[in-house]
Chains A and B, each alone.
Chain A
Amino acid sequence: MSGPTPEERALVDRISADSLTTRRDYLRIVATVSGGLAVGSTLVSAGVLHRHGDGTAAPLKVADRLAPGEAVTFDYPGEDDRAMAIRLADGSLVGWSTVCTHLACGVLWRDNHAEQDGLYCPCHEGVFNARTGEVTSGPPPRPLPKVLVVEDEQGAVWAIGTARSGESEEAGLCRGLRERDPALAERAGCGRRS
């Protein structure tokens, strides 16, 4: 069996060129797309997407000690919420979710030239300030969500809570406390703020 001859193909071409999509057809298509976008927006607002690095969990010991310039990765608060605690060169301790706020790639700590580059996302060259979590360059739309890290007397590092992009540590702690124990949050002075 042989395929269509060139004449037949030209004929099919000619006939399909004649089949019109009217402007009313375009209106119908555009209306369908519009409805789909409205439904999609509803789903997003209702929370189908996973908010990376958000939630509460029991305190987690992430390192016995952390020297300046060192970083340690862990999962907090959930199993899929990759995070990192970093001791900056001046000794201050910070913790960030390492799920990029752009398209959720893994954010890296480049300790060889960390101070000027901060946290680096290799997917689209996003860079976050390691001290503040703010976006310093690249496409990410939001600062990194924060993981609240503290040090105990022995120098061990613990992850104790989370704060969302741009949220203050107190607001994040209070939100976590309210979710777990509203009465305790009230007593801790969290009730007054929204």
Chain B
Amino acid sequence: MSYPPEYTPSSAEPRLNRPVPERYPQIRATSGYADPRVRRTGPGPGAGTEQEPERSAMLTARVAVAITVVIGQLWALTVATNAWMAGSTATAWWCTGFSAASFLVVLAAWRIGPRDR
């Protein structure tokens, strides 16, 4: 199976295809439209929410992974600076390698599945 999978603007699970007011009872007809300049009816039902609800959690997970990796990079930068200052240039370059590999991971987390919202 190729990644990302074929795009279908709804879910295989009927539960997730219910109209928006049922899925999100808190969202009112006027949610997001309290701007008094708006005089006409806006987009139809379902606009502005996830097109593929199952992929939403995955996107959240990608953000979480990316942030975790960046924290690792911050740590590696302190180790690299300390090592370089103490004269161990080789250790500093290893840390740089780690940082570059981490960047590739973040890049993958960003670029994979570009249609997810």
- B66 touches which of A34, A45, A52, A167 (Cβ 8 Å): A34
B59 touches A41 (CB 8 A): no
Task: State how many angstroms separate the Cβ of B75 from the closest Cβ of chain A.
Answer: 10
Q: Which of B10-18, B20-28, B99-107 contacts its partner? A: B99-107
A45 touches B74 (CB 8 A): no
The secondary structure that dominates the A interface is helix
B87 touches A41 (CB 8 A): no
A41 touches B106 (CB 8 A): no
Tell whether A165 is near chain B: CB-to-CB under 8 Å: yes
Q: How many residues of A contact B (CB 8 A)?
A: 34
Please name the residue on chain A nearest to B115 by beta carbon.
A24
Chain A residues near B102: list those with CB within 8 A: 34, 37-38
Chain B residues near A188: list those with CB within 8 A: none
Asked, given contacts A22-B117, A44-B77, A45-B96, whether A34 binds B106 with beta carbons under 8 Å apart, the answer is: yes
Binding site for A on B (CB under 8 A): 32, 34-36, 59-60, 62-63, 66-67, 69-70, 73-74, 76-77, 80-82, 84-87, 89, 92-93, 95-96, 99-100, 102-103, 106-107, 109-110, 116-117
Q: List 25 A-B contacts (CB under 8 A).
A: A23-B60, A24-B116, A24-B117, A27-B110, A31-B103, A31-B109, A33-B70, A34-B70, A34-B103, A34-B107, A35-B107, A37-B70, A37-B73, A37-B77, A37-B99, A37-B102, A38-B99, A38-B102, A41-B77, A41-B96, A41-B99, A45-B84, A45-B95, A54-B87, A166-B86
